[in-house]
Amino acid sequence: MVPTVNWPETVGQFLIGTARGKGSEVEALNDAAMLTAMRRAGYVGAPSGLSPVEGAETDTLPPFDAGAQDLKRCLDEGEPLVQEWCRLAAARGWRVPEIRLAEVIDFVRRHPQTRDAVRPVLGERGLWLAAQNPSWAKLFSLAPEIDADEARRIWDEGTVAERKAVLVALTRKDPALRRELIESSWKQEPAKNRVEFVEAFGEGIWPEDEPFLTRCLADRSMDVRFTAALCLSFVRENPVAVEIFEVAREFVKFGPPMQIGAPEMDDARLDRFGIASVKGPVKLDERLSRLTRLVSLVAPWRWESDGDRPASLTARFAVQDQRGHALRRGLLLAARFHQDAGWATALVESENPQTLDGDAPLHLIPREAQERIARALWASGNPHAPYRFASLALTGKPWSPEFTRWFMDQMKRELLAQQSRVYEGSLRPAAYFMDLGAAQLPYLEPAPAWRNAYETWQRVLDLRRSIHSTFERSPKP
Amino acid sequence: MGMSATWSVEAVMALAPDSASATAGRGLGSPGKWVSFGADAGAAWGLAKGSGANPYQVAIDLSEPAFKCSCPSRKFPCKHALGLFLLFAQGQCPAEARPAYVEEWLAKRGEKQAAAAAPKAAPDPEAQAKRAEKRRDRVAAGLEECSLWLRDTVRQGLASPSVANVKHFEGIAARMVDAQAPGIARRLREMGETLHAGAGWQERLIEQIAHLHLIVEAHQRMEGLPDTLREDVLAAVGFAVKKEELPAELRVRDEWNVLGQHRYQEDRLSVQRSWLWARERARWAMVLAFSVANAPFDPLLAPGSAFRGELAFYPGAESLRALPLDRSDAPLHAAPALSIHQALEGFADRLARCPWTELSPMCLANVRLAGPDWEAIDDAGDRLPLVSAFEPWDCLALTGGQPATLIGEWNGTRLRPLALVHEARWFPL
């Protein structure tokens, strides 16, 4: 039997129907059945014009296949473990096993903070693979490349976040274009956009940017003025930054004797830096909150002078005092803005651990001081202690053996107690950063409420031990 | 080409009922988590530290494998069994004498199996014949209705709103379920899914209609068909052959290599389709397994494993479908890889013998991938488009863009890659 029609005719017949077209339905079905069988049997791929993917360059680093299982577990367990695996691999000259590459790269897409740890162990193969997938392609490009036309296009058409990202990307590449873009539409932007765009100068300020930021101090929006003042505070010799410091010094004298004043509410100088003024009499605490804002705009190092280091300055005022408290909060904010580890440490250590609150920039403090503070927190009965432990652990620095041993001793007691002060979430991050040699745990039966947390904790520690021993067992390539 | 140990770590992990169990099982796959453990030729066992006072007793019957653990987990296999199996797969279980609890469990299993194998009381043959006849009549009436429906569909045309409507297909599919023709019902439901789905859906739908017509016509002309084709038609309509009715002459003893596997949902059922290659006879087999409510599949067919054993094939002119009957472990070997041209010729031969063939396994040599609408291209420049759900990233990571052997299933228009052989190693995709 040979079909009486060809495939296009059959398709036409089926679409319009035999009621309106020609032929009987049984013939149409028979023809279609035969043609379908012939088409399937005679399949020849139509040319698509696609070429095979260009092959990857040869790798110099060998893949660490022995660690593929550990790495899989790390991907299930969390970012710090993936980072630990990658650091160990990088130190020993290995790369990610090929079977794990796609998962690891997609992990970086979901957890961008792991990018710097992962990149060195991807090898040629991994970077090549990432380039093949449009949703991975930009993950590992070293500097986000952006040309002027693209920057202008995004500036005209993009969302606020995209436009801010353009400004950040231009910081080093083309600061003149950064100024040009921001000034081109400045008058039409709503205040909340203007704040976002000024914030982009936090990435870096060039001398040519200072006049623009100084002009921002005359902006209608208080938030724009404050943000611009904050940006300028990073520039050592900038006249505005020096001026803010001079004003602040009128209210804060480290002495001796130590003096802390409260700015009047109609002080127009403060208004210019984005600190609101109000007419009429106000309470002391409102004036003191202006002091906090003002001090937060001063780079902390400006307070230091010959022989006056942060620790000796913070010792001069009592934080229990209302004025001292306002000054301390301003200094803490400034230490946070300026990433000043010396001031952060001095401020946190001068405080009673019992009242240490959530504002403390613990992440800026060196590990040794953190461990000292953690022990004091634990002993003080501070209600925030368990949460502070979690944030200490999450700073990403490895724990010392002594601190690990001390922590294990506390845990043994806590895990057996029905009413524990430890909360589940603080155990897991602790396991990420403990010293493995010191984290020896005898088998114990935790109180029921802690069983899951305890198992998680053990599992993370086991995995870390497994990672280390797998690397140690494998001779360096 | 020997490729891996009988139970690879991947094969063991494929047994995990869910990802939480897999993670926990991996955690237990190190000697430190165990009070003691050991193995002999038939079993592996161990005592796992648990939260109770006594350690859990864990045992694995390696002949199946089957699992036993005294822990209270409802997961099966539980994390302890998985951990122990990992230890065993990594060659870490020392050869030792069986403890009493293992011996006892294996003895009980043996008794149960013997009882199951014992012949049951024969069902009443007369009643059986009556039931079979009743079903044949219902199916014949159902297919008559389906034939009318097909003609009506062609008369109205696919452009007609009452035809290009999912209800048009679902209604008849439901009636085919009532007529006890589940194979026909499934095809009709699939047509409903093709409707308006992506460019060129009309041509795909016409092919599906034509294919169904071929089955319905063949069923109406059953008397004139050779026996083997008749079996193919009955299978396409949805007549299931019982395990004990599989013909003895179609049993094949060989070294079977599980080279590819695909799992998918059909209604509330999970379906697992495994492609097995017989090393000595050089032929393929397809084993279907079903699971309700996410119960684990029989671990016997872990992808990337191999066994020496007997498969009972279903009757038919070109039957690929088979059921495994027994097994003993063997190393994995891949099928010889063909060019795309050769593989397509093989598919055409298969269609010539049985035009109802839906899927055919392919083991393709020196294939590279091209995207972004991914296709496989071989040395000669021949190409096969891949199923749209396919993610090429593992494949690219393993090969670095170099040619490799690709194992997959071809449906006549698209290839679903299932596994890759690269540098003499087998990887599931």
Give the pLDDT confidence of B163-181 residue by residue, as tens digits.
Answer: 999 999 999 999 999 999 9
Task: Find chain B residues with C-beta within 8 A of A44's C-beta.
Answer: 344
Cross-chain CB nearest to A53 (options B19, B159, B401):
B401
User: B220 — contact with chain A (CB < 8 Å)?
Assistant: no
- A59-91 b/e with 16+ CB inside 10 Å = b? bebebbeebbbbbbbbbbbbbbbbbbbbebbbe
Mean pLDDT is lowest, of A221-230, A382-391, B387-396, for: A382-391
10 Å CB burial of residue B291 (0-12, 13-18, 19+) is: middle
Give the percent of chain A with pLDDT over 90. 49
Question: Smallest CA–CA separation between A161 and chain B, in Å?
Answer: 29
- Please compute, for residue A238, the number of CA atoms within 13 A of its CA located in the half-sphere on the CB side: 25
Q: What is the pLDDT of residue A306?
A: 72
Task: Find chain B residues with C-beta within 8 A of A134's C-beta.
Answer: 372
What residues have CB less than 8 Å from B327, skipping those under 6 apart? B63, B256, B300, B307, B308, B309
Q: Which residue has the tokens 């001779």?
A: A475
Q: Pairing relation of β-strands B269-278 and B251-266?
A: antiparallel
Q: Closest Cα partner for B173 from B208, B219, B197?
A: B208
pLDDT of A101 higher than 90: yes
What residues have CB less than 8 Å from A34, skipping those under 6 apart? A1, A2, A3
**Does B344 sit within 8 Å of A56, measured CB to CB?**
no
Q: What is the C-alpha separation between B21 and B29, in angstroms, rounded? A: 12
Question: Smallest CA–CA separation between B215 and chain A, in Å?
Answer: 10
**DSSP letter (8 states) at residue A308:** B
Task: Find chain A residues with C-beta within 8 A of B394's C-beta.
Answer: 99, 102
- Tell me how crowded residue B79 is: count the other CB atoms within 10 A of its CB: 26
Q: What is the pLDDT of residue A163?
A: 92
Task: Find chain A residues with C-beta within 8 A of B397's C-beta.
Answer: 98-99, 101-102, 125-126, 129
Mean pLDDT is lowest, of A79-93, A185-199, B286-300, for: B286-300
Q: What is the C-alpha separation between A225 and B398, in angstroms, rounded? A: 55
Q: What is the pLDDT of residue B218?
A: 94
Task: Find chain A residues with C-beta within 8 A of B154's C-beta.
Answer: 13-14, 17-18, 25, 28-29
Task: List, in sequence order, every beta strand (DSSP E) within B282-414.
Answer: 283-292, 306-313, 322-324, 328-329, 360-370, 375-377, 383-385, 404-410
pLDDT of B390 higher than 90: yes
Q: What is the C-alpha separation between A123 and A104, in angstroms, rounded? A: 12
Q: Which residue has the tokens 């992962």?
A: A118
Token duo for residue A318: 């009592």
Question: Smallest CA–CA separation between A234 and chain B, in Å?
Answer: 45
Task: Find chain A residues with C-beta within 8 A of B217's C-beta.
Answer: 30, 33
Token duo for residue A185: 């539409």
Cross-chain CB nearest to A52 (options B151, B344, B369):
B369
What residues have CB less than 8 Å from B208, skipping those under 6 apart? B187, B190, B191, B194
Q: Closest Cα partner for A285 from A334, A325, A335?
A: A325
Q: What is the pLDDT of residue B375?
A: 94
Q: What is the pLDDT of residue A145?
A: 67
Cross-chain CB nearest to B155 (options A18, A30, A47):
A18
Q: What is the C-alpha separation between B136 and B232, in angstroms, rounded? A: 16
Question: Smallest CA–CA separation between B367 and chain A, in Å?
Answer: 9
Mean pLDDT value of segment A138-154: 79
Put simply, the chain B residues between 321 and 380 with a CB less than 8 A from any chain A CB are 340, 344, 347-348, 351-352, 355, 368-373, 375, 377
Token duo for residue B326: 């027994």
Which amino acid, residue B73? S
Mean pLDDT is lowest, of A305-309, A398-402, A471-475, for: A305-309
pTM of the full structure: 0.74
User: Is the C-alpha dihedral spanning A303, A304, A306, A311 positive or negative?
Assistant: positive
Q: Pairing relation of β-strands B404-410 and B360-370?
A: antiparallel
Q: What is the pLDDT of residue B4?
A: 35
What residues have CB less than 8 Å from A202, skipping those under 6 apart? A231, A234
Q: What is the C-alpha separation between B241 and B28, in angstroms, rounded? A: 42
What residues have CB less than 8 Å from A239, skipping those under 6 apart? none
Q: Find residue B407's DSSP bridge partners.
A: B363, B419
3-state secondary structure of B418: strand
Token duo for residue B24: 């926990």
- A254, A259, A264, A268 alpha-carbon torsion, rounded to 10°: -20
**Does A132 sit within 8 Å of B393, measured CB to CB?**
yes
A228 close to A220: Cβ distance less than 8 angstroms: no
Q: What is the pLDDT of residue B144?
A: 95
Q: Pairing relation of β-strands A259-260 and A252-253?
A: antiparallel
Which amino acid, residue A103? E
Q: What is the C-alpha separation between B223 and B227, in angstroms, rounded? A: 9
- Examine residue B65 and say whether the peptide bond preceding it is cis (omega within 30 degrees of 0): yes
**DSSP letter (8 states) at residue B223:** G
Q: What is the C-alpha separation between B152 and B146, in angstroms, rounded? A: 10
With cut-offs at 50, 70 and 90, classify the pLDDT of residue A367: confident
Q: Which residue has the tokens 């994995």?
A: B332
Put simply, the chain B residues between 138 and 167 with a CB less than 8 A from any chain A CB are 150-152, 154-160, 163
pLDDT of A143 higher than 60: no
pLDDT of A356 higher than 80: no
Q: Which residue has the tokens 């209705």?
A: B145
Mean pLDDT is lowest, of A25-39, B168-182, B296-310, for: B296-310
When computed from its CA atoms, the radius of gyration of chain B, rounded to whole angstroms, is 24
pLDDT of A473 higher than 90: yes
Question: Smallest CA–CA separation between B137 and chain A, in Å?
Answer: 23
Give the number of residues written for chain A. Answer: 477
**DSSP letter (8 states) at residue B120:** P
A451 versus A2: the higher-pLDDT residue is A451
- Tell me how crowded residue A57 is: count the other CB atoms within 10 A of its CB: 12
- A172-182 b/e with 16+ CB inside 10 Å = b? eebbebbbebb
- Which whole-number Å values give the CA distances from B96 to A338, B21, B42, B176, B404, in the listed order? 65, 28, 11, 58, 42
Token duo for residue B35: 């009070």
A205 close to A234: Cβ distance less than 8 angstroms: yes
Q: Closest Cα partner for A167 from A206, A123, A128, A134?
A: A206
Mean pLDDT of chain A: 87
Which amino acid, residue B109? R
Cross-chain CB nearest to A33 (options B213, B369, B384):
B213
10 Å CB burial of residue A94 (0-12, 13-18, 19+) is: buried
What residues have CB less than 8 Å from B103, skipping those under 6 apart? none
A461 close to A431: Cβ distance less than 8 angstroms: yes
Task: Find chain B residues with C-beta within 8 A of A33's C-beta.
Answer: 210-211, 213-214, 217
Mean pLDDT value of segment B224-251: 90
A28 close to A36: Cβ distance less than 8 angstroms: no
Question: Smallest CA–CA separation between A375 and chain B, in Å?
Answer: 30
B105 close to B68: Cβ distance less than 8 angstroms: yes
**DSSP letter (8 states) at residue A475:** P
Which amino acid, residue B67? F
pLDDT of B227 higher than 50: yes
With cut-offs at 50, 70 and 90, classify the pLDDT of residue B2: very low
Mean pLDDT value of segment A350-375: 81
The crossing angle, in degrees rounded to 10, of helices A451-473 and A68-77 is 150
**Does A26 sit within 8 Å of B351, measured CB to CB?**
no
User: Which secondary structure element, helix H or strand E, spans residue A377, and what is its range?
Assistant: helix A367-380
Task: Find chain B residues with C-beta within 8 A of A41's C-beta.
Answer: 347-348, 351-352
Q: What is the C-alpha separation between B369 and B359, in angstroms, rounded? A: 21
Mean pLDDT value of segment A39-48: 84
Q: Highest-confidence range of A52-66, A390-404, B101-115, by mean pLDDT?
A: A52-66
**Does B49 sit within 8 Å of A443, measured CB to CB?**
yes
Mean pLDDT value of segment B325-347: 91
**Does A32 sit within 8 Å of B206, measured CB to CB?**
yes
Mean pLDDT value of segment B182-189: 94
pLDDT of B278 higher than 90: yes
